[in-house]
Amino acid sequence: MDVKVRKAQNLLWACRRAYGVTWGLRPRVVHWLYISIIRPSVTFASLVWWPGCQTASAKKKLSRIQRLACLGITGAMRTTLTNAVEALMFVPLLELVVQSEARSAAHRLWSLGCRSYLHPNSSSILMRLQQSDPIFNMGVDVMRSAFNLEPNSRVTILTREDWTKATGAPPAVNGLVWFTVGSKMREETGAGVYGQSVGRRLSFSLGRYATVFQAEIYAILACVYKIQFQTRPEKYVSALIGSFESS
């Protein structure tokens, strides 16, 4: 806790050289510095040390940090109450922000199945969260990163010169041939995939709000998905992708 407080105070005093009551950075910029840089430095890894901010002395130290920031943002007098400037700026208590970050981290680890990484302290804050509302017993849409360091295929992207110098299709275009395209007509966006060698046609309606670029990417993903799950003896597959020009 003392290390966190000392680091935040050093950052505050470093920023203090760039503004004063009547000069320097605007209050909006100082507010951004506190919310985006200084406060995250305090709440970092709060899942581990959040029980330490429950004591009266720790709350006082955290309040002192936020008081320095609020006085610098508003230019208020030193005798102004801390709760008053916090309410004026609509800034929650720093110990509550620390607990909020700890709860979010605990729920994220629990949703990813990383229960073994949860310390008993973090488990207690997670149980309180799940007891407060049953919705927190549900998982989230966060997916664990998976790295495929040994791909079973190789991707070759032809250059513009390969197309302009060759008569007809370049020699690299062989095996199965697929075409992908994404387009937008009037207010509807769609994606299409055509397998010339296998005689397969696919079309997808993407509604009104998808862009042409998103439709192109969706068509490429659909094409790759179909190619991966087909048992064909061909060794090479050529995918001809439509342009990314928007309409």
Strand 200-205 to strand 176-185: parallel, antiparallel, or no bridges (unpaired)?
A: unpaired
The pLDDT score that the predictor gives to residue 118 is 65
Handedness of CA 154, 158, 162, 168 (dihedral sign): positive
Between 245 and 146, the more confident residue is 146
- What does pLDDT average to over the chain? 80
9-48 pLDDT, tens digit each: 888 888 888 887 778 888 899 899 899 989 998 988 888 8
- Number of Cβ within a 10 Å radius of residue 141: 5
Between 212 and 167, the more confident residue is 212
C-alpha separations of 140 from 44, 113, 204 in Å: 21, 11, 27
Least confident of 13-17, 53-57, 215-219, 241-245: 241-245
DSSP for 117-150 reads G--HHHHHHHHHHHHH-GGGGS--S-------SS
pTM for the whole structure? 0.53
- How is residue 186 written in tokens? 């009037």
The CA radius of gyration of the chain, in Å to the nearest whole number, is: 28
- Number of Cβ within a 10 Å radius of residue 120: 7
The pLDDT score that the predictor gives to residue 17 is 83
What is the DSSP code (8-state) at residue 19?
B
- How is residue 114 written in tokens? 């990383």
128-178 pLDDT, tens digit each: 777 877 777 776 666 777 777 776 667 777 777 776 776 665 666 667 788
| Identity of the residue numbered 238 | S
Percent of the chain whose predicted confidence (pLDDT) is above 90: 4
The pLDDT score that the predictor gives to residue 244 is 46
Between 68 and 156, the more confident residue is 68
- How is residue 55 written in tokens? 């004591």
Up-side HSE of residue 5: CA atoms within 13 Å toward CB? 18
Q: At a CB cut-off of 8 Å and minimum separation 6, what does 52 contact?
A: 1, 58
Work out the average pLDDT over 115-133.
71
